[in-house]
Structure 1
Amino acid sequence: MIRKLGLLILVLAIAGGVGFWFLSAPSYVDPARIAATAPGDAQRGTAIFWQGGCASCHAAPGAKGDARLVLTGGLNLITPFGTFVAPNISPSQQGIGEWSFEDLANAMMEGVSPAGSHYYPAFPYTSYARMQLQDIADLHAFLKTLPPSDNVAGPHKLGFPFNVRRGLGLWKRLYLSPDPVLTIADASDAAKRGQYLVEGPGHCGECHTPRNPIGGMEKAQWLAGATAAEGKGVVPNITGGEGGIADWSANDIAYALESGFTPEFDSLGSSMADVVLNTAHLQGTDREAIAAYLKAVPPHPNGYPTAK
């Protein structure tokens, strides 16, 4: 009897392991879609670079001006799950110099490295999954024009079980989707464009939306603000709900994204100041589109605990 029980446990363990391996396997962008995408245009890719905020994480910490185009990596993102280190994504051997467009597309839309391992969602592929492949092709072309850096950014600093990358395959089944977050009835063309920018390359929800204990975004509180990933302070509510930006006009929002000033002429601080270094490069119509979308987002009360 004991022998049979032991055999049953062994069989169940093997079956569970096989099931885990199958369910956690990486997914890839359909190669037919890759093949059907036109060659990237570096000039168009410049705009995608600023829309995606690549420099905010991948430039050297504190970099200013043209130094923000040297994507040397090294920024430490300290979170409850451990410390994530932003990699070098410059066109060098230490970066992504040998990456193809397909490699970049799989990284950004499926969170998978060229070697087939899962990326941690500190890299906001859960938002980039909504991007158009042509935009990624254009971004790839632009990244290839940037200065190379041989900096070695170093590994993440994670403990068990978060250092088991394979388990991210199961997490992705819950939280990785190319579907839009919101359905907005009778949305204007500007709001539709803004939705693409905010929910896709701009990845605003990654910081402005609260998360559950395993790091999934609480989309029912989309853009309601959140406790900062670093555990100190909050990221503000950018909906029209209580505590949010109901009093801001669309022009106020667009101006803040260009200048870094609120309607009260306070400066946007913390990480948002760095975001403005990106959004200031956008076309005015794109900043206006972001504003139109944010004004159309359903209002929510603050998504973080109120200080006592």
Structure 2
Amino acid sequence: MRLLPWGAALALLIAGAGWVLSAPAREPETHAALVGDPEAGRLSFAAAGCASCHIDPEADIDAGVPPVLSGGERFETAFGTFVAPNISPSPQGVGDWTDAQLVHAMAAGVSPDGQHYYPAFPYGSYSRADLQDLVDIAAYIRTLPHSDRENEPRELSFPYSIARTVGLWKRLYVSPDWVLETADTPEIERGRYLVESLGHCAECHTPRGALGGLDTTRWMAGAPNPSGEGRIPNITPAVLTWSEADIVAYLDTGFTPDFDVAGGSMTSVVKNMAQLPASDREAIAAYLKAIPGVE
């Protein structure tokens, strides 16, 4: 009979430890001092592909038209359905948020009311970003059209519906470390930043484990398509035999060396990449040639 109190005490201890370890990160006071530049933010916004997920599902990304970030796109995953939120500068979006709160959401995956966001929001990649780039994105978002679309709830089954557990997931899978540890040239270093951080390319191109974390041992080696149709390709040097010039041209025009054309989600990626300076596309190509090949 004496084992019962000890068992209960152990259970409480484990639960308490889990509660502490899963706590959302506090917003750093230093974020409040950041000042964004909307013009610089326009390019960082394109590199980060924000419109690809948050634009009105019936609209198309057009470099000449400011996107309406109404959200509403539905994403089916093995863990449930996520719906992209409204992040336009309206009260229904992020209009009432401070820039510091927006930066904290992108860098740490924590909402203004101190709740974890699910990693369908690629903050695991954005956590490596320069905070100035993130506050610039926030400043650019302030300049975009408003949308009064109300956010729709996510549809998750137990236990994935317990958002607090995401804190433990973050401890396992969110790291500020670069996957390509050594960048031999400034160009590769810039490409690493764009691919591993702002561009969050690995979120689609790298396979995931049972808990949804990226398998960094198979970095950029391809993965099942989240839509359920086919696979996202392996773009490591072991399989992608395109030259750096071929990669640059593809990111600019969408045309492959075989005169095929980008389709699916890559359509919007190419439209975003085409807005960047040519030097950024060249840096991405150099990075892709520098990462280890994975068969």
Tell me if TM exceeds 0.5. Answer: yes
Aligned to 1:245: 240
Aligned to 1:131: 129
* Aligned partner of 1:234 among 231, 252, 255: 231
d(CA) in 2 for partners of 1:109 and 1:178? 10
Paired residues for 1:14-93 under 5 Å: 14-32=12-30, 34-35=31-32, 37=34, 39-64=35-60, 65=62, 69-93=67-91
Q: CA deviation at 1:203?
A: 0.2
Aligned to 2:265: 271
8 Å contact from structure 1 (residues 80, 230) kept in 2 = no
Aligned to 1:299: 293
| More displaced 10-residue stretch of structure 1: 224-233 or 89-98 | 224-233
Q: CA deviation at 1:6?
A: 2.5
* Aligned partner of 1:13 among 11, 14, 30: 11
Aligned to 2:248: 254
Number of matched residues?
293
d(CA) in 2 for partners of 1:126 and 1:222? 14
Aligned to 1:304: none
Aligned to 2:144: 146
Q: CA deviation at 1:184?
A: 2.7
Amino acid aligned to 1:299: G
Paired residues for 1:162-181 under 5 Å: 162-181=160-179
Structure 2 vs 1, CA of residues 126 and 175 (structure 1 numbering), >3 Å: closer, same or farther?
A: same
d(CA) in 1 for partners of 2:258 and 2:66? 29
SS at match of 1:286: helix
d(CA) in 2 for partners of 1:181 and 1:52? 18
- What are the ranges of 5 or more consecutive residues in structure 2 without an aligned counterpart? none
The percent identity for this pair of structures is 51
d(CA) in 1 for partners of 2:277 and 2:115? 36
d(CA) in 2 for partners of 1:5 and 1:68? 65
Aligned to 2:212: 215
| More displaced 10-residue stretch of structure 1: 8-17 or 71-80 | 8-17
Aligned to 2:283: 289
Q: CA deviation at 1:124?
A: 0.3
For each residue in 1:175-198, what CA deviation from the matched residue of structure 2 results, as whole angstroms up to 9, or x when unmatched?
Answer: 11111111235x221111110000
8 Å contact from structure 1 (residues 77, 84) kept in 2 = yes
8 Å contact from structure 2 (residues 32, 99) kept in 1 = no
Structure 2 vs 1, CA of residues 252 and 62 (structure 1 numbering), >3 Å: closer, same or farther?
A: farther
d(CA) in 2 for partners of 1:105 and 1:91? 15
d(CA) in 2 for partners of 1:86 and 1:20? 29
Q: CA deviation at 1:13?
A: 2.0
SS at match of 2:75: strand
- Say whether 1:194 aligns with 2:188: no
d(CA) in 2 for partners of 1:68 and 1:162? 35
8 Å contact from structure 2 (residues 66, 144) kept in 1 = no
